Amino acid sequence: DAGVIQSPRHEVTEMGQEVTLRCKPISGHDYLFWYRQTMMRGLELLIYFNNNVPIDDSGMPEDRFSAKMPNASFSTLKIQPSEPRDSAVYFCASSLGGLVAEQYFGPGTRLTVT
Amino acid sequence: AQSVTQLDSQVPVFEEAPVELRCNYSSSVSVYLFWYVQYPNQGLQLLLKYLSGSTLVKGINGFEAEFNKSQTSFHLRKPSVHISDTAEYFCAVKGSSNTGKLIFGQGTTLQVKP
């Protein structure tokens, strides 16, 4: 398997623009996680899905952030409108069989909002 | 609620020397514990995990960790490090219920010098 695939790898956008990050989990995995990593706050879980259903979105910073998983092989994280404080590396991870199973991380998307 | 404290933000060490990366957690319930490694410009990768049973857990790349319930610690050790072990290491905790998310520490940067 190719592992977790994220696109784009780098995104530079201006404040106020809409940003969409994409993730393809490992085939067969039933959990999908979106994380954000910054120097100040470390690694934070934003939201996770089980069988395409959002289970816990308590980490989503505010209404500007939204995530969807229309099918088992694709998820998006959208920020609208984007702000400079959203600059971070966003990781997608997937796992099989539960919340203590190994999470496989994608390479991340480095987002810069100017 | 669970929390994780990694006591050292950076650990410099010479090649072939032993190393210990410290992790303490707080929780009012039984926990599961994890160590993940992040190489530069990559996503996280699971090193090892403690779910139950033997308190000494062996992982990949020669790493091991010991769960100490009385001291609420889960320190990571390696008897002899290599240059290739230079990376950031994250300790994580999850409560033993069927719900709940993985909580990551702030990370420890291991810098192996020749």
pLDDT above 70 for B54: yes
- pLDDT over 70, % of chain B: 96
Please name which of A99, A112, A113, A92 lies closest in space to residue A26, comparing C-alpha atoms: A92
Residue A86's SS3 state is helix
Q: How confident is the model at residue B34 (pLDDT cuts 50, 70, 90)?
A: very high
- The shortest C-alpha distance from B96 to chain A (Å) reads 9
pLDDT above 90 for B68: yes
- pLDDT at residue number A67: 98
pLDDT above 80 for B32: yes
- pLDDT at residue number A85: 95
> For an interface test with B, which of A26, A30, A57, A103 has the most B Cβ atoms less than 10 Å from its Cβ?
A103
- The residues that bridge with A49 in the sheet, in sequence order, are A32, A54
Interface of A with B (CB under 8 A): 4, 42-45, 48, 55-56, 59, 91, 93, 98-100, 102-108
Cβ within 8 Å, pair A42-B105 = yes
Please name which of A38, A50, A14, A36 lies closest in space to residue A92, comparing C-alpha atoms: A36
- pLDDT at residue number B31: 84
pLDDT above 90 for B98: no
A-B interface: how many C-beta pairs under 8 angstroms? 48
DSSP string, chain B: --EEEES-SEEEEETT--EEE-EEEE-SS-EEEEEEEE-TTS-EEEEEEE-SS-SEEE-GGG-EEEEETTTTEEEEEESS--GGG-EEEEEEEEESSSS---EE---EEEEEE-
Q: Which residues of chain B neighbour A93 with C-beta distances below 8 Å?
A: 43-44
Bridge-based pairing of strands B108-113 and B10-14 is parallel
- pLDDT at residue number A100: 79
DSSP character at residue A88: E
Q: Is the peptide bond before A81 cis (omega within 30 degrees of 0)?
A: yes
Question: How would you write the pLDDT of chain A (114 residues) with one tens digit per residue?
Answer: 689 999 999 999 999 999 999 999 999 999 999 999 998 888 999 999 999 999 999 999 889 999 999 999 999 999 999 999 999 999 999 999 877 788 999 999 999 999
- pLDDT at residue number B97: 66
Residue B42 forms contact with A (CB below 8 Å): yes
Please name which of A26, A108, A25 lies closest in space to residue B40, comparing C-alpha atoms: A108
More confident residue, A111 or B1: A111
